[in-house]
Structure 1
């Protein structure tokens, strides 16, 4: 992952985690808590792909595991978001542009249900049975509802920021540098051809002078020598042009 991706992902994950812990979790809504971190991971994964989504999901989940008031084993939510980020990155559009909201909303619904089930399943493996007491059906319904209500405000904004960072001007500058290199190579090629032309012209001038000297040496062929020197002068003029 590039540095700009890492910086943007870190800032968005930290801000979303702070809002979720300090604001959303204190609303005491019935059932589940709105998962803002999950929505940020989904938005980034649908732009950066499955590998980036897995890394971002693991880091975001690990921060959520360590953030107070965490009451579960560290690494539990990191595993959940790592899997969800990987799967969400698999539906990344080839062109990088989402034309309709149907696809992202379907990803949000699937991620809300999948993350809740996976979190409860991992909890059952480590002996945490809190989901049974709260009611798994109620958790699934409220988690999906809250995430769907927040998704239109979070996921498009995160994806737009990720695309803007992806199309940074530094990459274009580097591409322009390669073009400049091509121009300089062309100038070098042109210069070499000019030098070759001048060498050929010098050879012609030298041969013309040698032939002219030989012709001037013969007194009986003075007129013929003058005519050949004139032809050589015309040839030199054409080569210089």
Structure 2
């Protein structure tokens, strides 16, 4: 991962996890707990793509597994967020920007449902039957509702911050370097001087060519007039 992505993702993940553990988890809401960490991973994956989303999801989930008061097996939520980040990153368009909010909204709904089902499924494999006592249907409905209510306040801000770091030419972004030869198209202030010199040289060559052409035209015109004068003189004789 690039340095700019790490510098942005690490504080966002830590802040989201702290808010989720200290505030959202203590609200005593019915059903599931609002998953702010999931929304941050989804927002970053929509900009960084499937590879970046999978890596971010894994490390964010691993941090959540290690953070107190975690009471589940280490690596359980890391696996869930890794898959969610990879799947969300697959929806990134080739242009890098979504034309509407429909796709991110559908991704949030799919992430809320998929993360709940995978978390309960992995828990069933390791002997955790808490989802059965609470009710999987209630967890799905509450998780989807809470995440949809938080998504308009979290996902657009995370995506905007990620796009700013991706568009910074000094960070060595691959999208800016791939658009030009030699990877210098993102550094506009480096290529401006050479472009002006080339244009000035081209203008000078055009002007010199025009002068030479006019001189040659004048010589040819003069010789042609001399020949016409001689012919006229012969005819007059």
Q: Which residue of 1 aligns with 2:118?
A: 118
Q: Quote the Cα distance in structure 1 between the aligned partners of 2:41 and 2:33.
A: 16
**In the TM superposition, what whole-angstrom CA distance separates every residue of 1:10-29 from its partner, at most 9, and x where no partner exists?**
11100100100010001010
Superposition RMSD in Å? 2.4
**TM-score, L = length of structure 2:** 0.75
Q: Which residue of 1 aligns with 2:233?
A: none
* Aligned residues of 2:58 and 2:78 also touching (Cα < 8 A): yes
* Aligned residues of 2:42 and 2:88 also touching (Cα < 8 A): yes
Shift of 1:175: 2.2
Q: Which residue of 2 aligns with 1:208?
A: none
Q: Which structure 2 segments of 5+ residues have no match?
A: 177-183, 202-237
Residue range with higher mean Cα deviation, 133-142 or 93-102: 93-102
For the residue of structure 1 that corresponds to 2:10, the secondary structure is: helix
Q: Quote the Cα distance in structure 2 between the aligned partners of 1:157 and 1:7.
A: 16
Q: Quote the Cα distance in structure 2 between the aligned partners of 1:88 and 1:178.
A: 36
Shift of 1:101: 1.4
For the residue of structure 2 that corresponds to 1:152, the secondary structure is: helix
**In the TM superposition, what whole-angstrom CA distance separates every residue of 1:205-235 from its partner, at most 9, and x where no partner exists?**
xxxxxxxxxxxxxxxxxxxxxxxxxxxxxxx
Q: Which residue of 2 aligns with 1:43?
A: 43
Q: Quote the Cα distance in structure 2 between the aligned partners of 1:105 and 1:52.
A: 20
Q: Which residue of 2 aligns with 1:231?
A: none
Which of residues 166, 175, 187 is equivalent to 2:187?
A: 175
* Aligned residues of 2:49 and 2:89 also touching (Cα < 8 A): yes
Q: Quote the Cα distance in structure 2 between the aligned partners of 1:177 and 1:117.
A: 51
1:1-241 equivalent positions in 2, closer than 5 A: 1-170=1-170, 171=172, 175-176=187-188, 179=191, 182=194
Q: Which structure 1 segments of 5+ residues have no match?
A: 191-241
Q: Quote the Cα distance in structure 1 between the aligned partners of 2:138 and 2:9.
A: 31
Shift of 1:183: 5.8
- Bigger Rg, which one: 1
**TM-score, L = length of structure 1:** 0.73
Shift of 1:102: 1.2
**In the TM superposition, what whole-angstrom CA distance separates every residue of 1:78-101 from its partner, at most 9, and x where no partner exists?**
000000000000001222222221
**In the TM superposition, what whole-angstrom CA distance separates every residue of 1:70-126 from its partner, at most 9, and x where no partner exists?**
000000000000000000000012222222211111101100000000001101111
* Aligned residues of 2:53 and 2:86 also touching (Cα < 8 A): yes
For the residue of structure 2 that corresponds to 1:70, the secondary structure is: coil
* Aligned residues of 2:169 and 2:187 also touching (Cα < 8 A): no
